[in-house]
Every structure is written in C-alpha cells, then in structure tokens.
Amino acid sequence: MLAAWYEKKGQARDVYNIGELENPEPMPNEVRVRIYASGVNHTDCKRRSGHGDKDWNYAHHFPDFPIIIPNNDGAGIIDKVGSDVSTFSVGDRVWVFNARYRRAFGTAAEFITIPATLISRLPDNTSFIEGACLGVPAMTAHRCLYSDGDIAGKNILVTGGAGNVGNYAVQLAKLGKANVITTVSSSEKAEKVLMADHIINYRDTDVFSEIMRITDGEGVDRIVDVNLGVHWEINYKILKENGTISSYSSMGDRNPSFPHYELMLGNANIRLVMIHCSPFEALQKAADDITNALKTNSLIHNVARLFALDKIHESNEAVESGEMIGNVIIQISDN
Ligand SMILES: NC(=O)c1ccc[n+]([C@@H]2O[C@H](COP(=O)([O-])OP(=O)(O)OC[C@H]3O[C@@H](n4cnc5c(N)ncnc54)[C@H](OP(=O)(O)O)[C@@H]3O)[C@@H](O)[C@H]2O)c1
C-alpha cells in the first residue's frame, strides 16, 4: 500500500517517507479500512515534531514505535473484517478515530487495520473528506460539552469558536439545545461560526461585560475552553455556581496557576479533557451522537485545505502555521 511514515521525529520536511509498505491484515477484533481521506490535527503534528517530549512525562500516553504512520482521523470503506467482528461488514462506509493513540499505524495510508470500536458508520450524505474532519475535533467537542451532564437549556461559552474543536463544540451545543456564546479574534473567523446564538470578537469587545449582558447577569454553566491559563481571568468571573470549565488546551500558558478560592467558593469543576484516553463509554456515546447528527445533515464541516499524500509535509506545515481556519485533510483517493 502507499503510505506516509516517519522513523524519527523532527520537522515535517525532514522526516517523512512516502512509499510502499505491506498491506496490513486485520486481527480478529479489527477491520481493515481502505482510507480515502485522512485528517491532520495539531496532535498529529506534535507527536511527529516531538513537542513536549523533553518537558513532560507522557511517554506512556504516546509511546514511540520504530515506524509511525501518522494521523488519528480518517474515513473510508471496510474491505476486510476480522473473525470476531459482527458489527461491521465489508463495504461499510466508516469514519475512524483515535487511530494513533498507543498505536503505530494511523490513517495516512491506503489501508489501516483498526479495532471495530474505533470506527463509526459514515452516512451516504457525508463525504470521506467530511468524515475525516470528525475524529479529534468533534469527539473532543462532544466530550468537553457532555463530560458533566446534560446541556439542554444551559448557557455555554465556547472560546475560539472558529477553531476545529470550537466549530464542532458550537454546533453540538446547539444540537443539544443549549444557548451558545462563542468568542473569536476576527471578523473573518466570526463569519465561519454559523450556529452560535452570540459571537463576540474579543479583540474589540469587553468579553466579561458582554457575556453578563447576554446572560442577564447570570453567567454561564459550562465553558469549552481552548486556552485555560490565559482565559482564567474572565472565565472564573462568568462561571455560574456548580459550573464546569472543560479545558482541552492551554497554549498561551502551559503551566497555569488558578484562583482557587474564587472557583472553590462556586463549587466549580475544572475538567481537563484528553480525548484519546477519555472513558470508552464516553467515546462510544460521542461517536454515536456525531454519526446521528450526520444522518440528519445537522453538522456543517469546514475544510480549509486538501493535500495529496505525497505533500503530507505541507499539510503538517499548514496546521502548524496556525493560519488555517478549518480542517486540513489529505486526500488519499479521489473517490
Ligand atoms: N486535549 C485534547 O484532547 C485536544 C483535542 C483536540 C485539540 N487539542 C488541542 O487544542 C488546540 C486547538 O485545537 P484545534 O484543532 O481546535 O485548533 P485550530 O483549529 O487551529 O483552532 C485553534 C483556535 O484556538 C484559538 N486560540 C486561542 N488562543 C490561542 C493561542 N494562544 N494560539 C493559537 N490559537 C489560539 C484560535 O481562535 P481565535 O483566533 O479566535 O482566538 C484558534 O481558532 C491545539 O493545541 C490542539 O493540540 C487538544
């Protein structure tokens, strides 16, 4: 099969190999998926570059392997089924998630073998390219929203609503019947956020006052947050009693200190989300809810750029540039 892989970490243009590897064979609990599109996320680039390897003790989460085919997310068609798999059949269209979590071989190849628990059906109305957008971004959004109970009728703030996680968080929150406020850094990004009830450009608006105005002084029940350390200053003031801040990133301050008493006095819940090792039931529920939303055409996908497999280094550089508004996808096959 045609595949992209690396054997050492480093800059994308220095480490990628493109070529033929042997087709994988499914274990009894696995299926083999012919991949048509492969999603590129920050996590894939961080694993390839070795981001954090020296500073953080997380080798048990992301072990090294001699050969790594990158990318967690993808979509395609099952072409072989392991002997113990009864839930899927040859010919099923599926989207793939968590393919690189504690596994060497991800979706940047013509084939992947993967446990049947890490795929979900891709409805006919959803293209493979759209299916490859879902894994990390939509699953993380779902986990952040639902980790602490139902969201119907709740006020939810999604920071960075034009980001890939933010985009799905806004949409899944609306589908969950929440009142959704989101923040963005530009009018260009505001145009990409289609379903939020309120969009705040934090560059030209006092976010605290605006959220208190929108919520009639109540504040928000839940915050899906992309930059925990930097956003404390506002977030702890707008969080309602018994509220939750679900943090999936803290890029602007990697070692935040937080206002313990202000948060504790409101019985606040600080939920740190790592999608890859979220509980199995939560992942299954997220996958089911996302697939159900696809069936009713309820999710809008925002594809920023497509790349061919032999341009995988450029796809990584695009993600790492921070300039993409939307998903970066590698198209493995035209169909
Ligand atoms: N923990 C997990 O399980 C998990 C899962 C998925 C992603 N992540 C991490 O979450 C981050 C965002 O992922 P994504 O796929 O949504 O990325 P993305 O599509 O590039 O969006 C990132 C958004 O974050 C906002 N942002 C706020 N502060 C930022 C800063 N200091 N630097 C860059 N952007 C900033 C930007 O919005 P504005 O310009 O509007 O502020 C931007 O639109 C990445 O670090 C990723 O590795 C973690």
Contact 159, 224 (CB under 8 A): yes
Residue 295's φ and ψ, nearest 5 degrees, are -60, -35
Task: Examine residue 289 and state whether it is found in any structural domain, yes or no.
Answer: no
Q: Which residues in 185-294 belong to E strands, given as ranges? A: 198-201, 220-225, 239-247, 269-272
Give the residue from 40, 125, 114 showing the smallest Cα distance to 78. 114
Same domain, residue pair 45 and 172: no
Contact 5, 312 (CB under 8 A): no
Same domain, residue pair 108 and 11: yes
Same domain, residue pair 130 and 141: no
Specify the pLDDT at position 335.
Answer: 64
Residue type, 106: G
- Whether the pLDDT of residue 272 is over 90: the answer is yes
Ligand 1 surroundings by CB, under 6 angstroms? 41-43, 136-137, 140, 160, 162-166, 184-185, 189, 226-227, 248-249, 251-252, 273-275, 322
148-159 per-position pLDDT tens digit: 999 999 999 999
Pairing between β-strand 220-225 and β-strand 239-247 as defined by DSSP bridges: parallel
Pairing between β-strand 111-115 and β-strand 93-96 as defined by DSSP bridges: unpaired
* Distance from the alpha carbon of residue 161 to the mean position of ligand 1, in angstroms: 9
What percentage of the chain carries pLDDT values higher than 90? 93
In sequence order, what DSSP letters do the residues of 290-308 get, joined into one string? HHHHHHTT-----EEEEEE
Pairing between β-strand 179-184 and β-strand 155-159 as defined by DSSP bridges: parallel
Kindly give the number of the ligand 1 atom that is closest to the alpha carbon of 274. Answer: 3
Task: Examine residue 319 and state whether it is found in any structural domain, yes or no.
Answer: yes
Rounded average pLDDT over 298-302: 97
Same domain, residue pair 64 and 83: yes
Task: Examine residue 183 and state whether it is found in any structural domain, yes or no.
Answer: yes
Q: Which stretch of 167-171, 221-225, 251-255 has the lowest confidence by average pLDDT?
A: 251-255
- Whether the pLDDT of residue 236 is over 90: the answer is yes
CA-derived radius of gyration, the chain: 20
Domain with residue 156: its CATH number is: 3.40.50.720
Q: Which stretch of 50-64, 185-199, 283-297, 312-326 has the lowest confidence by average pLDDT?
A: 50-64
Task: Examine residue 291 and state whether it is found in any structural domain, yes or no.
Answer: no
Task: Examine residue 12 and state whether it is found in any structural domain, yes or no.
Answer: yes
Same domain, residue pair 95 and 174: no
Report the Cα 228 to chain-centroid distance in Å.
17
Q: What is the extent of the structural domain holding 69?
A: 2-134+301-331
- Cα(239)–Cα(219) distance, integer angstroms: 6
Rounded average pLDDT over 115-133: 98
Question: How many domains are contained in the chain?
Answer: 2
Kindly give the number of the ligand 1 atom that is closest to the alpha carbon of 324. Answer: 20
Contact 161, 183 (CB under 8 A): yes
Same domain, residue pair 86 and 148: no
Pocket test for ligand 1, best of 49, 157, 164, 165 (most atoms within 8 A of CB): 165
**Using 50, 70 and 90 to split pLDDT, how confident is the model at 116?**
very high
Domain with residue 24: its CATH number is: 3.90.180.10
Bridge partners of residue 327, in order along the sequence? 303
Task: Examine residue 271 and state whether it is found in any structural domain, yes or no.
Answer: yes
Task: Examine residue 296 and state whether it is found in any structural domain, yes or no.
Answer: no
Same domain, residue pair 89 and 148: no
Rounded average pLDDT over 12-41: 98
Domain end (from 260, 276, 292): 276
Kindly give the number of the ligand 1 atom that is closest to the alpha carbon of 162. Answer: 43
* Distance from the alpha carbon of residue 42 to the mean position of ligand 1, in angstroms: 8
In sequence order, what DSSP letters do the residues of 71-116 get, joined into one string? -SEEEEEEEEE-TT--S--TT-EEEE-STTTT-SB-SSBSEEEEEG
- Whether the pLDDT of residue 53 is over 90: the answer is no
- Whether the pLDDT of residue 213 is over 80: the answer is yes
* Distance from the alpha carbon of residue 226 to the mean position of ligand 1, in angstroms: 5
Kindly give the number of the ligand 1 atom that is closest to the alpha carbon of 46. Answer: 47
Length reported for the chain:
335
* Distance from the alpha carbon of residue 249 to the mean position of ligand 1, in angstroms: 7
Residue corresponding to tokens 């390897």: 53
Same domain, residue pair 81 and 23: yes
Mean pLDDT, rounded, of the chain: 96
- Cα(299)–Cα(291) distance, integer angstroms: 10
The alpha helices in 127-218, defined as continuous H runs, are 128-131, 135-146, 164-175, 187-192, 207-214
Same domain, residue pair 244 and 318: no
Same domain, residue pair 41 and 143: no
Per DSSP, the chain holds a count of helices (H) and strands (E) of 11, 15
Using DSSP's 3-state secondary structure scheme, residue 222 falls into strand
CA-closest residue to ligand 1 atom 2: 274
Same domain, residue pair 161 and 202: yes
- Cα(148)–Cα(233) distance, integer angstroms: 22
Kindly give the number of the ligand 1 atom that is closest to the alpha carbon of 272. Answer: 1
Residue corresponding to tokens 């309120």: 198
Same domain, residue pair 127 and 182: no
Task: Examine residue 295 and state whether it is found in any structural domain, yes or no.
Answer: no
